[in-house]
Amino acid sequence: MSVLAGTLSDGTRALAQDGAVPGVTDSRILFGQSAAFEGPAAALGRDMRTGILAAFREANDAGGVLGRQLELVSLDDGYEPAQAIANTRRLIEQDRVFALIGEVGTPTSRAVQPLATEAGVPFIAPFTGAGFLRAPELSNVVNIRASYAQETEAWIHHLTNDLGLNRIAILYQDDSFGRAGLEGVQAALERRGMALVAEGVYMRNTTAVKRALLTIRKAQPQAVVIVGAYAPAATFITVAQRIDFRPLFVNISFVGSKALAESLGRAGEGVVVTQVVPLPTDAGLPLVAAYQAALQRQDPKAEPGFVSLEGYIAARLTIAVLQRMGEPVTRERFLEAVTASEAIDLDGLELRFGPRDNQGLDRVFLTVLQRDGSYRAVDRLSRSTLPAAALPRPADATQ
């Protein structure tokens, strides 16, 4: 386990421990994050943290929230549940944070959510679309993003309606994250009287996808949907193209779009990725313009990306809820303020929660990776939105 430098001073820790409300003093509110900062999913943790810190700095530079500065302590869990549990216990019991924010991953979130719920600690914006976190009884969980079920339904809708495909295979991570995606795809296909033509799996925190690739290739699918992180997804796509296996590749938002684009280079042209936040380069949306400015102040070398934008939205939502609830600052009042009936407007992006609805956004955005590494937002998949090399054969050509 490692603590990222500069996230928590000894003085702040002492104040947090002495306060009547954990993590809250007259001058500070302390948040905790356990995420991957090393290993194949490290870019996801780093980008989530950067986005959160960008929004916190933006607020702090403007005088803070309710007269208090916002601070974040981040611990590396390597995308492993056991370490995430150890980190979360430390954050709750020793560092005494006010809330947890930006947990990365389904298996880690599944491991630590019960700890947060038992302690009554707000569990804000986990970077996962897993269905179990949407359970209405989990009143301490604050989801931002659309669920994996919504993403996978969008996949199958566009593949079947837009392109008329009927031979779809899946590569998924062999854990609760991958199985959540698998179940979503299977359900979406079953609603259409269809089934997967092949399944391939790989182990978490590895890029060992060769056996899965060979299994999937035998079925000659027109599209392969991928439920995994950027490193194994990029390896799978690169090796597939090397052996002239070229179905349409479709990735889930968790993949880490910026890292995937960097890993694939020109081989990524035409790869489809569903997103759960707006395009991070679209400064026409006031929220995105504010994000870009805040990101530049936080890290002048950072490039806009979907994951850091999601982290920024998570922190902006947290700030808005704190401002909405006012004094006194307590965990209970924070969670009550989240589920107030009116929408929370973040510079043009509305999030809506309710007493039994802990998910703020429902929209799934469709994007296509371009040759230059950028993403193009599209409404549907067609010859005008996909390069010729990425277009799969029509359904009747494979029968």
Specify the CATH number for the domain of residue 179.
3.40.50.2300
In a domain, residue 119? The reply is: yes
In a domain, residue 5? The reply is: no
In a domain, residue 4? The reply is: no
In a domain, residue 2? The reply is: no
Contact 48, 315 (CB under 8 A): no
Residues 182 and 307 in one domain: no
Residues 171 and 262 in one domain: yes
Residues 246 and 384 in one domain: yes
Residues 245 and 392 in one domain: yes
In a domain, residue 374? The reply is: yes
Q: What is the pLDDT of residue 389?
A: 77
Residues 247 and 381 in one domain: yes
In a domain, residue 109? The reply is: yes
The 10s digit of each residue's pLDDT in 61-106 is 999 999 999 999 999 999 999 999 999 999 999 999 999 999 999 9
Residues 132 and 225 in one domain: no
Residues 232 and 368 in one domain: yes
In a domain, residue 356? The reply is: no
In a domain, residue 59? The reply is: yes
Residues 262 and 298 in one domain: no
The 10s digit of each residue's pLDDT in 211-241 is 999 999 999 999 999 999 999 999 999 999 9
Residues 132 and 207 in one domain: no
Q: What is the pLDDT of residue 17?
A: 44
How many distinct structural domains can be found in the chain? 2
Could you list the residue range(s) of the whole structural domain that residue 320 is in? Answer: 10-146+281-351
Closest CA to 128 of 333, 216, 191, 112: 112
Residues 118 and 26 in one domain: yes
Residues 59 and 83 in one domain: yes
Residues 379 and 242 in one domain: yes
- The model's pTM is 0.92
Residues of the chain whose pLDDT is less than 70? 1-3, 5-19, 393-399
The answer for residues whose C-beta is within 8 angstroms of residue 53's C-beta and 6 or more apart is: 72, 298, 315
